Amino acid sequence: RLRTTRAAAGRERGVARRSRSGVTVGARRREGRRMRAAPRAAPIATVLRGRAKRKPRVGVSGHPAMAASTSAPFFTVDETALADLNAFLRDARELVRASDSNAKKKTPRAERVTLVLGNEAADLDSVACAISLAYALHEANDDASRAYVPVVCVPREDFSLRADARWLLESVGVDVDALTFGGEIAFGDASGPIVHDRLRLVLVDHNALASASEYASFASAVDAVVDHHDDEKKYPATAAAAVVPTGSCATLVAEALVLDRSALAARSETATRVFRETGPPTRLRAGDPRAALLLAAVLLDTQNLNASATRVHARDEAVAPILASLAGTGDPVRFHDELKRRRFDQSGLSPRDLLRRDYKQWRFVGDENKAWDVGVASFGVPLGNMAGDARAIRDACESFARERSVDALALMCAFDDEDSRAFRRQFAICFFDKKGDSDDARFICASHLQARLVEPGGALSLALGGLEPVADETARDAFGGFAFEQGDPKGSRKKAQPALAAFFENASSSRR
């Protein structure tokens, strides 16, 4: 049977399970490098209901054929496959969570637990990859002594700030309550679910553990890496690494799950390296909820395969239509636009929430062994719109710097211009003088290091396509003149981080 949902306009939760109209998959076409939209409005999701009972560890045990229709849902979900995925997520959480209920429920312990860690920003790409790869490893694994657990590396209460990711998971039907979040894993205690010597890590959407990460002490336990950022090469030499500069990390995960066996060896580093101990992964079938998750990540990260706006690789272009077909996405442009709307609708967030919703932090060791703790916050409103006035923006940055104990805080925002609708990016940098007290962070204006960091022709300016002072007076006042328009709309945090690393690794504390 087929069931469809058509959510009311503006409804925040799109879990599709309420209406009765029939639906199918619309046509998928390509125009240039972008995926073309279907012309009509569409329900959020179709739910495919198979008669087969759920079988643990099996992705899609069967599903009915989809009939033709002009309507185009965002995606199609097989309920059997969804039930399997949610059961896996619940079992994984029970295995590692910090709770005495494990003993009461007699949750079986694996001899080796592998955490599949998304990055510390927990954006949609990271979450989709962690869930999809962990489940694929679980399906391919025949060793009962091993277990795989996907981890969303932010506190559970912070996940609501990722509006696009939460909307997608809830719309697909993924049980968010069953996910494992940062701070929920019991390790380090011999009586707990995880003991140090049997913990392994797989990193997705990043290739180096942040110094402030709760998993930093387990850096030597990294078994595998799947990532599309610049390779910092801080993982063990023995780790299976698939680090390729695609537009989306989801492309590298999806390739392993959608390519046929003959293509895997030549075209998927993830399949040949990360699955070297388990055997090849099971291919996705139509209606598998992971197809919708991975497609959403590819579309958002590449701005719907728009090479003029961001980095797009030929491999992103190749995998997107395959995922769209498996997900039953008849209108990928509308799907992308809805995801983008939810990601950038941050008008109701406080300055602190804007700073923490998509935040990463690194420690760079410079001259005289000075350690620089540097944070980068990404959000979707102009710098001058973070708060009502410059003082409030500055106060929020100082408070956040104290909370994170950073020496410098970079702010990177991306948004569509209200008038021209052109995509724009802005950059600002704050330095703080902690004066030996880690609980005190005083905002420094016009420091020597700030001027050097953003100087024309410098590594950061080149990475971001040039930096021109913003016209907005509130933003200029808030950051002491160190607020800029980026020349390159593709200049995301992925490009800024290597330039920041190069700068601070050659910076001296005596030249502040």
Decide which of 159 and 37 is more confident. 159
pLDDT at 31: 38
- The answer to whether residues 171 and 15 touch, using CB atoms and an 8 Å cutoff, is yes
In angstroms, the CA 385 to CA 73 distance is 35
pLDDT in the model for residue 118: 95
- CA–CA gap between residue 277 and residue 143 (Å, rounded): 10
Residues 6+ apart with CB under 8 A from 62: 50, 51, 52, 80
In terms of pTM, does the model score above 0.75?
no
Residues 257-286 pLDDT 10s: 999 888 887 888 989 999 988 888 999 999
Mean pLDDT of 173-193: 80
Stretch among 157-166, 186-195, 298-307, 440-449 having the lowest mean pLDDT:
186-195
pLDDT higher at 277 or 239: 239
Angle at 319 between CA 260 and CA 92, to 5 degrees: 75
| Count of Cβ atoms closer than 10 Å to residue 215 Cβ | 21
How many whole angstroms from its chain centre is CA 313?
18
Report pLDDT for 442: 61
- Band of pLDDT at residue 69, cut at 50, 70 and 90: very low
- What is the chain's percent helix, strand, coil content, to nearest 5? 35, 20, 45
Tell me the C-alpha to C-alpha distance, in Å, between residue 240 and each of 130, 203, 227, 236, 348: 16, 10, 11, 9, 42
Is the pLDDT score of 242 beyond 90? yes
What phi and psi values does residue 126 have, to the nearest 5 degrees? -65, -45
Find the helix packing angle between 124-140 and 249-258, rounded to 10°: 30
Q: What is the pLDDT of residue 345?
A: 83
Average of per-residue pLDDT values in the chain:
82
Asked if the model's pLDDT at residue 164 lies above 90, the reply is yes
**Lowest mean pLDDT segment, chosen from 238-247, 283-292, 435-444, 475-484:** 435-444
- CB contact at 8 A, 287 and 78: yes
| Confidence at residue 43, expressed as pLDDT on a 0 to 100 scale | 55
pLDDT value of residue 195: 60
Residue 433 or residue 284, greater confidence:
284
Residues 416/422, Cβ–Cβ less than 8 Å: yes
Tell me which of 81-90, 129-138, 260-269 is least confident.
260-269
Asked if residue 458 has pLDDT above 50, the reply is yes
Kindly tell me the burial class for residue 357, based on how many C-beta atoms sit within 10 Å of its own C-beta (0-12, 13-18, 19 or more): buried
pLDDT tens by residue, 388-426? 999 999 999 999 999 999 999 999 999 988 888 888 999
Query: Residue 102: its pLDDT value, please?
Result: 44
Worst-scoring range by mean pLDDT, 149-153, 271-275, 483-487?
Answer: 271-275
Q: What is the pLDDT of residues 207-234, one digit of tens each?
A: 999 888 899 989 999 999 999 999 999 9
C-alpha span between 238 and 220 (Å, rounded) = 10
